[in-house]
Chain A
Amino acid sequence: MIGGLFVYNHKGEVLISRVYRDDIGRNAVDAFRVNVIHARQQVRSPVTNIARTSFFHIKRANIWMAAVTKQNVNAAMVFEFMLKVIDVMQSYFGKISEENIKNNFVLIYELLDEILDFGYPQNTDTGVLKTFITQQGIKSQTKEEQAQITSQVTGQIGWRREGIKYRRNELFLDVLEYVNLLMSPQGQVLSAHVAGKVVMKSYLSGMPECKFGINDKIVMEAKGKGMTTEDPARSGKPVVVIDDCQFHQCVKLSKFETEHSISFIPPDGEFELMRYRTTKDISLPFRVIPLVREVGRTKMEVKVVLKSNFKQSLLGQKIEVKIPTPLNTSGVQLICLKGKAKYKASENAIVWKIKRMAGLKETQLSAEIELLETDTKKKWTRPPISMNFEVPFAPSGFKVRYLKVFESKLNYSDHDVIKWVRYIGRSGLYETRC
């Protein structure tokens, strides 16, 4: 299991050092600094073996976090745990930075003591941790409170405490999708997938049981068969083919496996209910058509056509197209029909921004790029044109059919709960090669 956990700043100075196992000596802290942080050649793997000791590291902003072990540990678990530690720290004190870590080192040690015991990860749920690791001390707790804390830390529903009360029972569902695309210059889709997630904010009293329904193909087909009379309205409804989905730990996985129903007792506040991935019938909101012509050795002409491909009534927002330029660019002349375009020398790219664009529209940008004559033989590799956007629908076709709330002990019913659903489609890695 994990033998120790170290946090360093970008210079390699130790900010946090916690050793859990006897087989990890003090020199381990230095070994990582010397062989990874200060390594002459950048280390090319997140797992490094130095003298039979394995170091896992992740780097976020300027902070290095390393887990060290001498055993054959579960590597996926170590990384997942480290990512979780970062999550926990962020929810306690915000951004991960040297300053914040130094300011909260006592708290971090307390957390590390709680969530990792002898190298075995324990309950890492922030909601639960916050009930008893507070930096205020817990002297004033009554016996009942203490028992409640411990039963929650270890309990079957470790993510929700009893006795939550709201005057207004309300819940918000955000369906957030990231469209990923790789398109060839000729407009052929090389790969496309949607990584979606359903984020829920729940403000519900008691211990409510929720049931969540979506237009998943398997469920819909099963339903279709079950009905005796064919419902004409339903048969025309679009369904989504989900390749794979994952759920928050509150969802009863075995029930999903057998009945394909998503039921759960939600944590209080915001959480990620499910993640899913689809690859079929994705409606790609935008299409980029590049045209690059090299005119001699010192000039290039670039024309980029942007088409929006969704309902006319909807508006795409925060549109940004990034067209890479060669390193030896000396000047760029730009003409665009819509939005603003600028050449950014620091990024080696033309950045074209459009605030809003309705569906089924087309616009274009043309640029003349002047190049410095260079003697380097190295060819410019033409990185892909990437783009960002946000659209108010789910490109995968994902739809929330219902979310029912049952709370048997308190007397409020499903109808009394105010529910909000919102769909947002964003660009993931949305690239067109040119």
Chain B
Amino acid sequence: MTDSKYFTTTKKGEIFELKSELNNDKKEKKKEAVKKVIASMTVGKDVSALFPDVVNCMQTDNLELKKLVYLYLMNYAKSQPDMAIMAVNTFVKDCEDPNPLIRALAVRTMGCIRVDKITEYLCEPLRKCLKDEDPYVRKTAAVCVAKLYDINSSMVEDQGFLDQLKDLLSDSNPMVVANAVAALSEINESSSSGSPLVEMTPQTVNKLLTALNECTEWGQVFILDSLANYSPRDEREAQSTCERITPRLAHANAAVVLSAVKVLMKFMEMLPSDSEFVTSLTKKLAPPLVTLLSSEPEVQYVALRNINLIVQKRPDILKHEMKVFFVKYNDPIYVKLEKLDIMIRLASQANVAQVLSELKEYATEVDVDFVRKAVRAIGRCAIKVEQSAERCVSTLLDLIQTKVNYVVQEAIVVIKDIFRKYPNKYESIISTLCENLDTLDEPEARASMIWIIGEYAERIDNADELLESFLEGFADENSQVQLQLLTAIVKLFLKRPSDTQELVQQVLSLATQDSDNPDLRDRGFIYWRLLSTDPAAAKEVVLAEKPLISEETDLLEPTLLDELICHISSLASVYHKPPSAFVEGRAGIRKSLPASARAGSEGVESTESQAAPAVIPAQDSLIGDLLSMDIGGPTVAPVAAAPAAPFGSAAMDLLGGGLDTLLGETSSSPAPPSALAASSAALLGDIFGAPAASATYVAPKTTWLPAEKGKGLDISGSFVRRNGQLFMDLTFSNKAMQPMLGFAIQFNKNSFGITPASPLQVQSPLPPGVAADASLPLATTGPVQKMEPLTTLQVAVKNNVDVMYFACQIPMHALFVEDGQMDKRVFLATWKEIPAQNEVQYTITNVMHSADTVVSRMQQNNVFTIAKRNVEGQDMLYQSLKLTNGIWVLNELKIQPGNPNITLSLKSRTPNVAEGVFQAYDNILHG
């Protein structure tokens, strides 16, 4: 007998027919009818009208029929709350049934009926079932507490179900323990107070670890996932827990393996990274991860997304396993794409040859997305592993020869990146690239090609013709291409002014007069005025040396990565997004790795705040634009301040004949509408003037030696940095009655080895009542001795009267050197390397600056922004600085729009400089 007949129903009068069948006396008929109802329900028909008739069938000793009726009830009770009450009696009676299966069924179903009145009746039976003699009933009741919490959380707390649930953690039956853990974890996650209702203690952890060995695979997952939320008290506990979890890595269920990996990755953070235990654990992690790749493709996909995270966090684990990520011909596309990503992450000098030959193979496959990604991967290889660049380029050239349209376009995009990484190295291939000009139809490829032509205009004989050909359809181009074309033609003009004047005028007028795009117009105006005012400055700005791009293009931001590591195996790790990005409502408690001291502040700040939409581009991105870096792809390393153009009053002479002087021949000078001229003068002023206004922070001079102690000599002073040189600016005032002469100065040994670079030059003799300024250049080559506090400098000043001693504080920012910009990659590596105990936190209060202002202010004081990210409305800045004695300091700033407080996390190998650095930030940002 088959059930499929229930899916085919006669349309007319169906409900009526079912109704009479449901009320039939014969049991078999009844059952048939209920089955029909369920089938209709499944395909989406509304059969709620049959509610009373179906509920009438509930009182039966036929378990199959009962289950069907319950299924119906769960679906429709909410829409018919009054009728649902009719079922309560049966439920309560069933909860007392001698058969444990029926007791469990009743309590399980009751929890799924979300009707207030029924919930009231649920409490008593649930309380009994939680203490039932049969473990099957208890394990069902445990989950029911979570159901009840979802419906009415206060009832669970008031009725003491939480304590009962906690008691179940010590149950003798492992499955009861597992379900109780699952329920508790869910309740903790969704608790309205935001803090867990039930804290785990070492005792409960111990019980869980015991149950772990005995329960079902799913139970093991519940237990491991909840252990991942626990923070061991100390290293010893972390290590012993790890030891007990490691055997799970050999489980056949991928979910158990990944959850175990999660706990281990998290707890490993607490252990010293050079300990033998961590080394051996790292070794043990690789094989199970590799084995996950032989599971079903869907599981593989989850595993690969997680491996992607693990490889970023701990590159050592899989560094020798490159081969297992080679793509198989019949892998599903989603597996292929993920494997490709991981291959690039694992690429290194040692294996790059192998990787390249694989990538070349992939680039000839059929799937367009995959091929594109493979081509892109070749470019990333070139940028990542310098030694392979040459082979990569030749591989890309081979691919261009295939003439497959999308391959060519993709190849050109990545070659552009290779040019940016290794300028003046592979220009010989430009002619080959130019051959493919006609086939490019995607904006990114066109823009890349135009960038190449503009950048190397002097080597391409017909660059003007090529660019002109693009100009014909200027209006129809994508804005990315338009911007690029504008810049490229300006570059060409600056390089070959004699014969391209017409072209540049054409593009400038197209950009400024015929375009609706404000970005394009503005850029057009800027170029126009630059060219007309000061062509030399234009050259300096447009043809400035560009920063090299860095290889780590798509690494996750460290704090996000750490958070995702805590979510291994979960959806967050599949999406590579924090749960708050895709889970509705409160995201629960934000997770962070145990050792990081950041956890506390993050919890508070995780409330979502919307960043104000940025209308005005950030200063650095604007400069980036000027340098024509607007092509997507690998991120640009933070742009160093553009060479400040000597502007001054020349800015006013907008319509002056700069162009003409450059050309040395007469031409109708371009005349933009004069109404715009005034406003754009202000614009230029904004861009070039603003940085000049706020220069390096200089602390006001303070009195170091009052006259009463200095036998009539009063000294005040401060420290400054000018053009990379540290100076001590001093003011000597003679408050005595007779003139002073014979001044000399000497420093005691100090923390930074500061010593006068030349003898003290001060007006001598110094008549009474006169003050004289002196500027003493300082060197940092003197003898070093650690001072307390670190920045103390003891000074002796001698004159004809006596020798005076005093001590002063060197403001730390004066010691920040100009080459304090760390490479992005080095920054990431260093941040990871420096142990967490070296991290110090500080809150800078009352700063009303936006992130961009902070960036520029700090930059003027030799604190360099390595990267900037926006995470859930907060701006994260990563800054580096170097002290005169070579100590590097890495900072992470968290800035929330609207919040006057900035959180600063500092990492350095010598954390005792922190105090001074904090002081410097305070001064600079408030100064």
A interface residues with partner B (beta carbon < 8 Å): 1, 13-17, 19-23, 26, 29, 44-47, 49, 52, 54, 56, 58, 69-77, 79-83, 99, 102-106, 109-110, 113, 117-118, 120-125, 132, 135, 137-139, 141, 143, 146-147, 149-151, 153-156, 158, 182, 190-191, 193, 195, 243-249, 252-254, 256-257, 272, 275, 277, 377-379, 381-384, 386, 429, 431, 433
Cβ-neighbour of A14 out of B3, B35, B42, B111 (below 8 A): B42
Cβ-neighbour of B62 out of A54, A124, A139 (below 8 A): A139
Instruction: Check B248–A253 contact: CB distance below 8 A.
Output: yes
Q: Give the distance in Å from the alpha carbon of A124 to the alpha carbon of B248 in the complex.
A: 19
Subset of 30 A-B contacts with CB under 8 Å:
A1-B182, A1-B186, A13-B43, A14-B42, A16-B42, A20-B112, A22-B114, A44-B369, A47-B301, A49-B582, A52-B584, A72-B571, A76-B302, A76-B303, A77-B569, A79-B255, A79-B299, A99-B4, A105-B38, A106-B35, A106-B68, A113-B70, A113-B108, A118-B143, A121-B218, A247-B252, A256-B250, A257-B247, A383-B329, A431-B329
Known interface pairs A191-B324, A245-B250. Does A109 touch B176 (Cβ–Cβ under 8 Å)?
A: no
Q: Which of A1, A141, A154 has the most CB of B within 10 A?
A: A154
Q: Which residues of B contact A272 (CB under 8 A)?
A: 252
Known interface pairs A120-B222, A257-B246, A379-B402. Does A103 touch B570 (Cβ–Cβ under 8 Å)?
A: no
Looking at the assembled complex, report how far the CB atom of B888 sits from the nearest CB atom of chain A, in whole angstroms: 37
Q: Which residues of B contact A244 (CB under 8 A)?
A: 250, 287-288, 290-291
Looking at the assembled complex, report how far the CB atom of A161 sits from the nearest CB atom of chain B, in whole angstroms: 15
Instruction: Check A22–B570 contact: CB distance below 8 A.
Output: no
- The chain A residue with its CB closest to the CB of B34 is A106
Looking at the assembled complex, report how far the CB atom of A198 sits from the nearest CB atom of chain B, in whole angstroms: 12
Cβ-neighbour of B570 out of A74, A105, A247 (below 8 A): A74
Is B434 positioned at the interface, with any CB of A under 8 Å from its CB? no
Looking at the assembled complex, report how far the CB atom of B98 sits from the nearest CB atom of chain A, in whole angstroms: 7
Cβ-neighbour of B250 out of A49, A71, A138, A253 (below 8 A): A253
Known interface pairs A49-B582, A80-B254, A244-B291. Does A147 touch B214 (Cβ–Cβ under 8 Å)?
A: no
Cβ-neighbour of A117 out of B143, B257, B324 (below 8 A): B143
Looking at the assembled complex, report how far the CB atom of A297 sits from the nearest CB atom of chain B, in whole angstroms: 16
Instruction: Check B3–A139 contact: CB distance below 8 A.
Output: no
Known interface pairs A22-B114, A110-B64, A272-B252. Does A384 touch B329 (Cβ–Cβ under 8 Å)?
A: yes
Instruction: Check B582–A75 contact: CB distance below 8 A.
Output: no
Instruction: Check B146–A118 contact: CB distance below 8 A.
Output: yes
Q: Which residues of A contact B301 (CB under 8 A)?
A: 45-47
Known interface pairs A74-B259, A137-B64. Does A29 touch B299 (Cβ–Cβ under 8 Å)?
A: no
Instruction: Check A147–B583 contact: CB distance below 8 A.
Output: no
Q: Give the distance in Å from the alpha carbon of A182 to the alpha carbon of B257 in the complex.
A: 27
What 4 A-B pairs are tightest by C-beta distance, nearest first? A244-B287, A102-B4, A150-B136, A77-B255
Is B240 positioned at the interface, with any CB of A under 8 Å from its CB? no
Q: Which residues of A contact B64 (CB under 8 A)?
A: 106, 110, 135, 137
Known interface pairs A75-B302, A156-B174. Does A113 touch B584 (Cβ–Cβ under 8 Å)?
A: no
Q: Which residues of A contact B288 (CB under 8 A)?
A: 244, 246
Instruction: Check B174–A246 contact: CB distance below 8 A.
Output: no
Does more than half of chain A's interface fall in helix, strand or loop, or is it mixed? mixed
Instruction: Check A105–B302 contact: CB distance below 8 A.
Output: no
Q: Give the distance in Å from the alpha carbon of A153 to the alpha carbon of B138 in the complex.
A: 12
Instruction: Check B254–A76 contact: CB distance below 8 A.
Output: yes
Q: Give the distance in Å from the alpha carbon of A122 to the alpha carbon of B143 in the complex.
A: 11
Q: Which of B79-137 contact A (CB under 8 A)?
A: 98-101, 104, 108, 111-112, 114, 134-137
Q: Give the distance in Å from the alpha carbon of A81 to the alpha carbon of B140 in the complex.
A: 19
Q: Give the distance in Å from the alpha carbon of A79 to the alpha carbon of B218 in the complex.
A: 12
Looking at the assembled complex, report how far the CB atom of B485 sits from the nearest CB atom of chain A, in whole angstroms: 29
Instruction: Check B252–A249 contact: CB distance below 8 A.
Output: yes
Is B7 positioned at the interface, with any CB of A under 8 Å from its CB? yes
Q: Give the distance in Å from the alpha carbon of A73 to the alpha carbon of B573 in the complex.
A: 10
- The chain B residue with its CB closest to the CB of A47 is B574
Instruction: Check B42–A17 contact: CB distance below 8 A.
Output: yes
Cβ-neighbour of A46 out of B214, B297, B575 (below 8 A): B297
Instruction: Check B364–A379 contact: CB distance below 8 A.
Output: yes
Q: Which of B38, B64, B254, B361 has the most CB of A within 10 A?
A: B64
Is B459 positioned at the interface, with any CB of A under 8 Å from its CB? no
Looking at the assembled complex, report how far the CB atom of B97 sits from the nearest CB atom of chain A, in whole angstroms: 10
Looking at the assembled complex, report how far the CB atom of A268 sits from the nearest CB atom of chain B, in whole angstroms: 18
Q: Which of B195-249 contact A (CB under 8 A)?
A: 213-218, 221-222, 225, 244, 246-248
Is B2 positioned at the interface, with any CB of A under 8 Å from its CB? yes
For B558-597 the 0/1 string (1 means CB < 8 A from A) is 0000000001011111110001001110000000000000
Instruction: Check A52–B218 contact: CB distance below 8 A.
Output: no
Is B334 positioned at the interface, with any CB of A under 8 Å from its CB? yes
Q: Which residues of B contact A378 (CB under 8 A)?
A: 404
Q: Which residues of A contact B287 (CB under 8 A)?
A: 243-244, 277
With an 8 Å Cβ cutoff, the count of chain B residues facing the other chain is: 113
Instruction: Check A72–B299 contact: CB distance below 8 A.
Output: no
Looking at the assembled complex, report how far the CB atom of A172 sits from the nearest CB atom of chain B, in whole angstroms: 20
Q: Which of B4, B6, B61, B575 has the most CB of A within 10 A?
A: B4
Q: Give the distance in Å from the alpha carbon of A182 to the alpha carbon of B222 in the complex.
A: 38
Looking at the assembled complex, report how far the CB atom of B219 sits from the nearest CB atom of chain A, in whole angstroms: 9
- The chain B residue with its CB closest to the CB of A253 is B247
Instruction: Check B291–A246 contact: CB distance below 8 A.
Output: yes
Q: Which residues of A contact B4 (CB under 8 A)?
A: 99, 102-103, 105
Looking at the assembled complex, report how far the CB atom of B63 sits from the nearest CB atom of chain A, in whole angstroms: 5
Q: Which residues of A contact B135 (CB under 8 A)?
A: 150-151, 154-155
Q: Give the distance in Å from the alpha carbon of A80 to the alpha carbon of B253 in the complex.
A: 7
Instruction: Check A154–B114 contact: CB distance below 8 A.
Output: no
Q: Which residues of B contact A386 (CB under 8 A)?
A: 329
Known interface pairs A80-B299, A154-B136, A247-B252. Does A429 touch B38 (Cβ–Cβ under 8 Å)?
A: no
Cβ-neighbour of B101 out of A17, A132, A190 (below 8 A): A132
Q: Which of B130-184 contact A (CB under 8 A)?
A: 134-137, 139-140, 143-144, 146-147, 150-151, 173-176, 179, 182
Q: Which residues of A contact B402 (CB under 8 A)?
A: 379
Q: Which residues of A contact B257 (CB under 8 A)?
A: 76, 246
Instruction: Check B366–A76 contact: CB distance below 8 A.
Output: no
Q: Which residues of B contact A275 (CB under 8 A)?
A: 252, 291
For B400-444 the 0/1 string (1 means CB < 8 A from A) is 001110000000000000000000000000000000000000000
Q: Which of A75, A247, A272 has the most CB of B within 10 A?
A: A75
- The chain A residue with its CB closest to the CB of B109 is A113
Is B29 positioned at the interface, with any CB of A under 8 Å from its CB? no
Cβ-neighbour of A44 out of B244, B302, B334, B573 (below 8 A): B334
Instruction: Check B213–A253 contact: CB distance below 8 A.
Output: yes
Q: Which residues of B contact A151 (CB under 8 A)?
A: 135-136
Q: Which residues of B contact A80 (CB under 8 A)?
A: 217, 253-255, 299
Q: Which residues of B contact A118 (CB under 8 A)?
A: 111-112, 143-144, 146-147
Instruction: Check B404–A72 contact: CB distance below 8 A.
Output: no
Cβ-neighbour of B572 out of A72, A149, A429 (below 8 A): A72
Cβ-neighbour of A277 out of B213, B294, B365 (below 8 A): B294
Instruction: Check A29–B294 contact: CB distance below 8 A.
Output: no
Is B647 positioned at the interface, with any CB of A under 8 Å from its CB? no
Q: Give the distance in Å from the alpha carbon of A49 to the alpha carbon of B42 in the complex.
A: 23
Instruction: Check A83–B38 contact: CB distance below 8 A.
Output: no
Instruction: Check A102–B3 contact: CB distance below 8 A.
Output: yes
Instruction: Check A143–B63 contact: CB distance below 8 A.
Output: no
Looking at the assembled complex, report how far the CB atom of A82 sits from the nearest CB atom of chain B, in whole angstroms: 8
Cβ-neighbour of A143 out of B75, B98, B137, B213 (below 8 A): B98
Instruction: Check A154–B176 contact: CB distance below 8 A.
Output: yes
Q: Which residues of A contact B151 (CB under 8 A)?
A: 22
Is B314 positioned at the interface, with any CB of A under 8 Å from its CB? no
- The chain B residue with its CB closest to the CB of A386 is B329
- Beyond A79-B299, A253-B248, 9 additional contacts (C-beta under 8 Å) are A20-B112, A47-B301, A103-B4, A104-B3, A121-B218, A154-B173, A246-B291, A254-B213, A381-B365
Q: Give the distance in Å from the alpha carbon of A58 to the alpha carbon of B298 in the complex.
A: 7
Looking at the assembled complex, report how far the CB atom of A15 sits from the nearest CB atom of chain B, in whole angstroms: 7
Q: Give the distance in Å from the alpha carbon of A275 to the alpha carbon of B291 in the complex.
A: 10
Q: Which residues of B contact A383 (CB under 8 A)?
A: 329
